[in-house]
């Protein structure tokens, strides 16, 4: 895992500025939640980190190494999508082994990694299943195992809980949060659900209109919002929740 720096990144698509001078630091092992309304630039920020968008200006650094112009396949970034994006022509195990295979990891080690990850995520019995036969929660676990199998510098999660039912979401939120903490994974967690971010992330960046409005711990953002937008955004329908530090 690495320390990730987004340094004054701007991304324009024609006349539209999707990301406007965003700077963020993610410490080694930290989970940073990026929240904001639709179209605020959070997914573009994630895609810029993954290498699918090259910033119009600014830099992306992994452990001080400038990766701004490197293609996605050389960045060693794990991606988890809302839509799962599993390889439907492969079994669950083949999905998990795909990344290590592309990296030239030996067959034995690939199998071992896949077995360990599937066990860790509580789905070892699904190894030989076709992804199409799995439930949403199971598919998301496979997506997570696949992303973790490459031992990424950073794990990028793009609205991974959206679309799941409320009960499953709550359970998965706890499980994934515990797992990421246990593995000490550096992660960027993009979501429009502020409760989800507050429960799962060490710190939160609130974005609006392509810019970062505030970065801080969930408690800081909730208790001392830096702007009226942040105040309005985080105070919307927030029920009782536990901050990631466990304090009430």
Quote the CA–CA distance of 214 and 76 in Å, as a whole number.
28
- Of 4, 6, 86, 195, the residue at the interface with other proteins (CB under 8 A) is 86
Q: Which range binds other proteins by CB under 8 A, 16-24, 71-79, 116-124, 183-191?
A: 71-79
Place of tokens 């997914």: 43
Lookup: tokens for 20:
């406007």
Classify the C-alpha dihedral 25-27-28-32 as positive or negative.
negative
Q: How far is the CB of 81 from other proteins (least distance, A)?
A: 5
Stretch that binds other proteins, among 44-52, 179-187, 193-201, 219-227 (CB under 8 A): 44-52
Nearest one of 165, 155, 7, 143 to 81, comparing CA atoms: 143
Among 83, 133, 227, 235, binds other proteins (CB under 8 A): 83
The runs of H, that is alpha helices, within 51-123 are 92-102, 107-120
Instruction: Pick the stretch among 34-42, 57-65, 69-77, 122-130 that binds other proteins (CB under 8 A).
Output: 69-77
CB neighbours of residue 64 within 10 Å: 8
| Residue range at the interface with other proteins (CB under 8 A); choices 107-115, 149-157, 185-193, 207-215 | 149-157
Q: Return the half-sphere exposure (C-beta side, CA atoms, 13 A cut-off) of residue 54.
A: 6
Residue of the chain from 37, 39, 102, 235 that contacts other proteins (CB under 8 A): 102
Please give the residue ranges that form the binding site for other proteins (CB under 8 A): 50-52, 71-79, 81, 83, 85-89, 98-99, 102-103, 143, 146-147, 149-150, 156
């Amino acid at each position: 895992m690495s320390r990730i720096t987004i340094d004054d990144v701007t991304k324009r698509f024609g006349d539209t500025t999707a990301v406007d001078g965003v700077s963020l630091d993610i410490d080694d092992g930290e989970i940073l939640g990026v929240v904001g309304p639709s179209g605020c630039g959070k997914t573009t920020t994630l895609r810029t980190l993954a290498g699918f968008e090259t910033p119009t200006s600014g830099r992306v650094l992994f452990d001080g190494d400038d990766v701004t112009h490197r293609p996605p396949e050389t960045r060693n970034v794990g991606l988890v999508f809302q839509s799962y994006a599993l390889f439907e022509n492969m079994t669950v195990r083949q999905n998990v082994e795909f990344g290590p295979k592309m990296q030239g990891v030996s067959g034995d080690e690939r199998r071992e990694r896949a077995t360990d990850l599937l066990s860790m995520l509580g789905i070892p019995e699904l190894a030989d299943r076709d992804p199409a036969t799995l439930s949403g929660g199971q598919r998301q676990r496979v997506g997570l195992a696949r992303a973790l199998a490459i031992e990424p510098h950073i794990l990028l999660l793009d609205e991974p809980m959206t679309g799941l039912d409320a009960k499953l979401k709550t359970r998965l939120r706890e499980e994934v949060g515990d797992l990421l903490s246990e593995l000490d994974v550096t992660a960027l967690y993009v979501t429009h659900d502020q409760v989800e971010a507050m429960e799962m992330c060490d710190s939160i960046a609130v974005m609006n209109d392509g810019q970062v409005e505030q970065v801080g711990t969930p408690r800081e953002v909730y208790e001392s919002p830096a702007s009226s937008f942040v105040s309005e955004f985080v105070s919307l329908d927030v029920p009782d929740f536990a901050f990631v530090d466990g304090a009430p």
